[in-house]
Structure formats: structure tokens, C-alpha cells
Structure 1
Amino acid sequence: MFAYELHELRSAELRRLAEQERLAAEALRGRRAARRTASREAPEAESHSGGPGRHRFTRAA
């Protein structure tokens, strides 16, 4: 009987953990979807990758 009760406790714990992981993944998907929507609706931003007069590395001495 004791082993069965331990099994039931562990099973319930695993179900709770799985539900928490599902909720976390759902929240993450929601945040990503909100960012995608916001980026589509936002005006084009200037690029921060550098311009014609800007170099990636500094000059050596």
C-alpha cells in the first residue's frame, strides 16, 4: 500500500510540474506574439548596425 501511495504522490507532482511548464510555454508564446505584432505595427526604426562612416573595429596604433 505504501508504494502505491508514493506512486500516486509522485504522479500528482509530475502532473503539477507539467501544467506549470505548459503555462510557462504558453506565456512565452504570448509574449513573442505580442512582440511580433508590435514590431509589425511600429514604424521602421533606424538601423544600429553602423553607417558608411562608422567602422566595426578601432584602428590599431
Structure 2
Amino acid sequence: MYEHAYQQVHQQARSAELLRRAEDERLAREAVRARRAARREAADRREATARREAGDPAGAAGASASDTGRPRRPRSARTT
């Protein structure tokens, strides 16, 4: 009887620990997403400010030529 009660308590403690660990991981993922979003917004603001200072009228709207901030990959010369 005591063995069954011990196993039940042990299983409940293990479940609670797994739930705590999952919650910690979820919070860590949210923090990483928030930091990335903040960095993106700061970069967008810097880019828009630089464009405005350079006299580019599109800088105020924040319009860019591509969807991402990654530079285009240079194309290699093809020889045939």
C-alpha cells in the first residue's frame, strides 16, 4: 500500500516538474522572440533615419526593396 502511495506522489512530483520545465522553456522562447523583434524595430528605425538624412523620400515610409534585411547573394559567373 505504501509503495503505491509513494509511486503516485513521485509521479505527481515528476509531472509538476515537467510542467514547470515546459513553462520555463516557453518563457525563454517568448523572451528570445521579443529581443529579436526589438532588434528588428531598432534596425528599421536606424535605416529610416539614415534614409531621411540622406534625402530619400521613401525613408520616411520605411519602404525597402526586399522583404528581408539580408543583402542579395552575389551571382557567380557562369561559364558554358
1:31 to 35, 39, 43: 43
| Pairing of 1:1-61 with structure 2 (within 5 A) | 1-44=13-56
Identity %: 20
List structure 1 runs of 4+ shifted beyond 3 angstroms.
none
Aligned-partner residue type, residue 20 of structure 1:
V
Task: Mark the runs of 5 or more structure 1 residues left unpaired by the alignment.
Answer: 45-61
Q: TM-score, structure 2 length as denominator?
A: 0.53
Question: Matched residues in 2 for 1:32 and 1:43: separation?
Answer: 17
Task: Mark the runs of 5 or more structure 2 residues left unpaired by the alignment.
Answer: 1-12, 57-80
Of Structure 1 and Structure 2, which has the larger fraction of its residues in helix?
A: 2
Tell me the number of residue pairs that the alignment of Structure 1 and Structure 2 aligns.
Answer: 45
Which is bigger in relative contact order (C-alpha 8 A, separation at least 6)? Answer: 2
Question: Matched residues in 2 for 1:27 and 1:43: separation?
Answer: 24
What is the CA RMSD across the aligned residues, in angstroms?
Answer: 1.5
Q: TM-score, structure 1 length as denominator?
A: 0.69
